[in-house]
Amino acid sequence: MSTVKLVLRKKPNKEGKFPLCLRITKDRKSSFIHLGYHLNEDDWDDAKQRVKKSHPNATRFNNLLLKKLAEANDKTLELETLKTNVSSQAVKQRVKPAQGLTFFVQAQAYLDNLKASGKYNQYTADKPRIKHFREFVGNQDLAFSDITVALLERFKVYLRGKYQISERTIVNHLAAIRSVFSKAIREQIVERKNSPFGSERIQIKFPDTVKIGLSSDELKRLEEVKLDNPLHNHARNMWLFSYYFAGMRVSDVLRLKWADFQNDRLHYSMGKNTKAGSLKTHERALAIMAQYADEKRHKDDFIFPELKKLDNLNDKFALQRTIAFTTSRIDKFLRNHVASAIQTDKKLTMHLARHTFAQIAGDKISIQILQKLYRHSSITTTLGYQSNFTIKHTDDALDAVIGT
């Protein structure tokens, strides 16, 4: 059982006065919550936990302190009723969280955590989504209890009307708000039952998107086309390199080092889920690598040039930002120059390499092998992804009914 007591801490300020605090003790470990008031030592009765009558505002002070003490005891009892093992720090967080209890204060803390964790892509995506929600509610802060299913339904209508964005982008806005709620629930600021998300409430369900890769003929033209501009050729190399390794994500392609290749095999851990594995290095991939090799290279050097300019690779936020800018630049060259060179009207981007591999793999490769190639943690993910490209059975079904 935790105990809560009013104390005068023995750490005077510049005026020689001492801070009034709530002391929370559990298992002989204490945490302190400063109440924002200071007293002379002679004005405090430690035994009775009261301000002495000698203080000119003793009555007002004591009424305030009794209220603070009662609130702290109520929240402590509430927390210990829900959980059997809690620390004094957990009780302190429940009584007075490190940040404010309102939604947008917690939303800023959520964004700050993303930035500190180096999650550049999610940070830059969720920041404007939170901003749109703030604009919708008139730039005022909200209590979590004010965010209801009805309010979020009106927010969806607002986004459709003002920004004319896709349904998927609307769902992304709701997912950002849900992430702030999830943070607040983990920190015991909000109870899960009070969240507007979940069954019979707002459900986050991303709509399906059409996934189409290059055809075999378009792929062959991409491999064979002559590109005199070195920037366009580099973009083509990056795309093909991704394709030759089962549609490897561009972030992983950029991180590859010479040391990752041994005995004509690639050994690497995927950045998204840290799953490790080994893949054969096709001679076409080796031919691309030869274009970036030089006698001075070190085994720990990056194969491709984009990340070599970073001074501090431990700065995850800067690393992710560089990868995002690089991907955007390569996609621009692919769309505006390489696509026309191979005579395709498809939106040629780095991500299309992954779709192309899946499309050409089709029904040729077992789903278990594809799971290993994609490094998916669950085969359900592979089944869902590959269903966009597995068309033989449905084609055969139509032929059986309609005829060939």
| CA 61 centroid distance within chain | 45
Rounded distance, CA 379 to CA 364, Å? Answer: 17
Q: Return the higher-pLDDT residue of 295 and 239.
A: 239
Q: Which residue has the higher pLDDT, 394 or 285?
A: 285
Check residue 275 and report its DSSP letter.
Answer: -
Q: Place 245 in a pLDDT band, splitting at 50, 70 and 90.
A: very high
Burial class of residue 343 in the structure, from the number of CB atoms within 10 Å of its CB (0-12 exposed, 13-18 middle, 19+ buried): exposed
**Nearest alpha-carbon partner for 374 in 284, 285, 304, 277:** 277
- For 334-344, write each residue's pLDDT tens digit: 999 999 999 99
Range in 33-37, 98-102, 143-147, 166-170 with the lowest mean pLDDT: 98-102
Q: Which residue has the higher pLDDT, 46 or 75?
A: 46
The pLDDT value recorded for residue 367 is 78
Alpha-carbon span 292 to 238, nearest angstrom: 12
Q: What is the mean pLDDT of the chain?
A: 88
Predicted local confidence at residue 111, as pLDDT: 96
Q: Can you tell me which residue has the tokens 């060259």? A: 333
Question: Helical H runs in 257-338?
Answer: 283-290, 316-333
- pTM (2 d.p.): 0.70
* Confidence class for position 83, pLDDT limits 50, 70, 90: low
- Per-residue model confidence (pLDDT) at position 68: 83
> Among residues of the chain, what percentage have pLDDT more than 70?
92
* Residue-level pLDDT at 93: 66
Collapse the DSSP code of 310 into the 3-class scheme (helix H, G, I; strand E, B; otherwise coil) and give the result. Answer: coil
Highest mean pLDDT among 45-49, 273-277, 325-329 belongs to 325-329
Q: Six-digit token pair at 130? A: 């939170």
pLDDT (0 to 100) of residue 30: 86
Please write the tens of the pLDDT for every residue from 197-226: 998 899 999 887 778 899 999 999 999 999
Percent of the chain with pLDDT over 90: 52
Q: What is the pLDDT of residues 349-385, one digit of tens each?
A: 999 999 999 888 876 777 787 787 777 778 887 777 7
CB atoms within 10 A of CB 126: 22
Decide if 92 contacts 33 (C-beta within 8 A).
yes
Confidence of residue 387 (pLDDT cuts 50, 70, 90): confident
β 3-8/18-26 pair status = antiparallel
**Is 216-361 assigned to CATH 1.10.443?**
yes
DSSP state of 324: H
Domains of the chain, by residue range, sit at 3-95, 103-194, 216-361
Residue pLDDT, tens place only, 150-190:
999 999 999 999 999 999 999 999 999 999 999 988 877 78
| Closest by CA position to 358, among listed 389, 383, 324 | 389
Whether pLDDT at 404 is above 70: no
- What is the pLDDT at residue 273? 59
Give residue-wise pLDDT tens across range 275-310: 777 889 999 999 999 999 987 788 899 999 999 988
127 contact partners, CB below 8 Å, separation of at least 6:
111
Over the stretch 85-119, which tens digit does the pLDDT of each residue have?
666 676 666 666 555 568 998 999 999 999 999 99
Options 3.30.420, 1.10.3470, 1.10.150, 1.10.1670; CATH of 103-194: 1.10.150
- What pLDDT is attached to residue 256? 95
